[in-house]
Amino acid sequence: MEPKQRNVVHLAAVRESREPLPRRSSSPAPEPRLLRQIYGEILRDERRDQDRSLDDVARAVGMSKQYLSEVERGRKEASSEILRSVCDALELPIEQLLGRGIRRMTAHRTLRAARSGGVELCAA
Protein backbone atom coordinates (compact mmCIF):
# COMPACT_ATOMS: atom_id res chain seq x y z
CA MET A 1 0.00 0.00 0.00
CA GLU A 2 1.45 3.35 -1.02
CA PRO A 3 1.67 6.08 1.59
CA LYS A 4 -0.78 8.92 1.17
CA GLN A 5 0.84 11.76 -0.78
CA ARG A 6 0.89 15.11 0.98
CA ASN A 7 1.71 18.52 -0.40
CA VAL A 8 4.38 20.16 1.74
CA VAL A 9 5.45 23.67 0.89
CA HIS A 10 8.42 25.31 2.57
CA LEU A 11 7.91 29.02 3.05
CA ALA A 12 11.45 29.90 1.94
CA ALA A 13 10.93 28.09 -1.36
CA VAL A 14 7.65 29.89 -1.95
CA ARG A 15 9.23 33.28 -1.31
CA GLU A 16 12.07 32.54 -3.72
CA SER A 17 9.97 31.15 -6.55
CA ARG A 18 7.09 33.65 -6.43
CA GLU A 19 5.09 31.13 -8.44
CA PRO A 20 1.45 30.62 -7.56
CA LEU A 21 0.72 27.52 -5.54
CA PRO A 22 -1.12 24.72 -7.36
CA ARG A 23 -4.80 24.57 -6.53
CA ARG A 24 -6.84 21.46 -6.17
CA SER A 25 -10.25 21.34 -7.72
CA SER A 26 -12.68 21.40 -4.88
CA SER A 27 -16.26 20.38 -4.64
CA PRO A 28 -18.74 23.05 -3.62
CA ALA A 29 -18.38 23.93 0.04
CA PRO A 30 -21.22 22.73 2.24
CA GLU A 31 -23.62 25.34 3.51
CA PRO A 32 -22.37 26.86 6.75
CA ARG A 33 -24.42 25.85 9.75
CA LEU A 34 -26.68 28.42 11.30
CA LEU A 35 -26.16 29.68 14.82
CA ARG A 36 -29.53 28.25 15.86
CA GLN A 37 -28.35 24.79 14.77
CA ILE A 38 -25.12 25.06 16.73
CA TYR A 39 -26.87 26.31 19.88
CA GLY A 40 -29.49 23.57 19.52
CA GLU A 41 -26.80 20.89 19.32
CA ILE A 42 -25.10 22.24 22.42
CA LEU A 43 -28.34 22.34 24.40
CA ARG A 44 -29.26 18.82 23.29
CA ASP A 45 -25.77 17.51 24.17
CA GLU A 46 -25.95 19.12 27.60
CA ARG A 47 -29.44 17.75 28.26
CA ARG A 48 -28.38 14.25 27.22
CA ASP A 49 -25.19 14.47 29.31
CA GLN A 50 -27.44 15.13 32.31
CA ASP A 51 -29.68 12.18 31.34
CA ARG A 52 -32.72 14.45 31.26
CA SER A 53 -35.70 14.06 28.98
CA LEU A 54 -37.13 16.68 26.67
CA ASP A 55 -40.29 16.63 28.77
CA ASP A 56 -38.37 17.25 32.00
CA VAL A 57 -36.46 20.28 30.67
CA ALA A 58 -39.47 21.66 28.79
CA ARG A 59 -41.57 21.56 31.99
CA ALA A 60 -38.81 23.32 33.93
CA VAL A 61 -38.75 26.06 31.29
CA GLY A 62 -42.51 26.24 30.81
CA MET A 63 -42.64 25.33 27.13
CA SER A 64 -43.85 22.37 25.13
CA LYS A 65 -41.45 19.52 24.52
CA GLN A 66 -42.23 19.81 20.80
CA TYR A 67 -40.96 23.38 20.76
CA LEU A 68 -37.84 22.46 22.73
CA SER A 69 -37.22 19.63 20.28
CA GLU A 70 -37.46 22.07 17.36
CA VAL A 71 -34.98 24.39 19.09
CA GLU A 72 -32.56 21.51 19.71
CA ARG A 73 -32.76 20.44 16.07
CA GLY A 74 -32.10 24.00 14.90
CA ARG A 75 -35.47 24.38 13.23
CA LYS A 76 -36.72 27.18 15.47
CA GLU A 77 -34.90 30.43 16.17
CA ALA A 78 -35.00 30.74 19.95
CA SER A 79 -35.07 34.20 21.49
CA SER A 80 -32.40 35.19 23.95
CA GLU A 81 -34.98 34.84 26.74
CA ILE A 82 -35.74 31.26 25.76
CA LEU A 83 -32.05 30.40 25.46
CA ARG A 84 -31.46 31.81 28.93
CA SER A 85 -34.42 29.87 30.36
CA VAL A 86 -33.22 26.58 28.85
CA CYS A 87 -29.69 27.26 30.06
CA ASP A 88 -31.02 28.00 33.56
CA ALA A 89 -33.01 24.76 33.55
CA LEU A 90 -29.85 22.88 32.57
CA GLU A 91 -27.72 24.88 35.06
CA LEU A 92 -25.56 25.89 32.12
CA PRO A 93 -24.28 29.47 32.26
CA ILE A 94 -25.30 31.30 29.09
CA GLU A 95 -21.67 32.35 28.71
CA GLN A 96 -20.74 28.69 28.29
CA LEU A 97 -23.38 28.26 25.60
CA LEU A 98 -21.95 31.24 23.73
CA GLY A 99 -18.35 30.08 24.19
CA ARG A 100 -19.11 26.56 23.01
CA GLY A 101 -20.94 28.00 20.03
CA ILE A 102 -17.91 30.06 19.05
CA ARG A 103 -15.60 27.05 19.39
CA ARG A 104 -17.86 24.89 17.22
CA MET A 105 -18.12 27.58 14.56
CA THR A 106 -14.37 28.07 14.58
CA ALA A 107 -13.68 24.33 14.45
CA HIS A 108 -16.02 24.00 11.47
CA ARG A 109 -14.18 26.77 9.60
CA THR A 110 -10.77 25.32 10.45
CA LEU A 111 -11.75 21.87 9.22
CA ARG A 112 -13.21 23.27 6.02
CA ALA A 113 -10.08 25.33 5.34
CA ALA A 114 -7.81 22.35 6.01
CA ARG A 115 -9.80 20.13 3.66
CA SER A 116 -9.99 22.66 0.85
CA GLY A 117 -6.37 23.79 0.79
CA GLY A 118 -4.48 20.56 1.03
CA VAL A 119 -1.26 22.50 1.57
CA GLU A 120 0.75 22.23 4.76
CA LEU A 121 3.04 25.13 5.63
CA CYS A 122 6.24 24.25 7.42
CA ALA A 123 8.38 26.77 9.27
CA ALA A 124 12.09 26.52 8.62
Q: Which of 34, 16, 14 is nearest to 122 (CA)?
A: 14
Q: Where are the beta strands (DSSP E) in 7-100?
A: 7-10
Give me the CATH topology for the region 35-93: 434 Repressor (Amino-terminal Domain) (1.10.260)
User: Does the predicted TM-score (pTM) go above 0.95?
Assistant: no
Would you say residue 13 has pLDDT above 80?
no
Would you say residue 124 has pLDDT above 50?
no
**Cα angle vertex 57, ends 88, 76, to 5°?**
85
pLDDT-derived band of residue 107, with 50, 70 and 90 as boundaries?
A: confident
Would you say residue 21 has pLDDT above 60?
no
User: Can you tell me the distance from the alpha carbon of 95 to that of 84, in angstroms, rounded to the nearest whole number?
Assistant: 10
Q: Where are the domains of the chain?
A: 35-93
Would you say residue 92 has pLDDT above 50?
yes
Q: Which of 108, 109, 84 is nearest to 96 (CA)?
A: 84
User: Can you tell me the distance from the alpha carbon of 96 to that of 104, in angstroms, rounded to the nearest whole number?
Assistant: 12
Q: If residue 94 lies in a helix (H) or strand (E), which one and from where to where?
A: helix 94-117
Q: What's residue 118's pLDDT?
A: 57
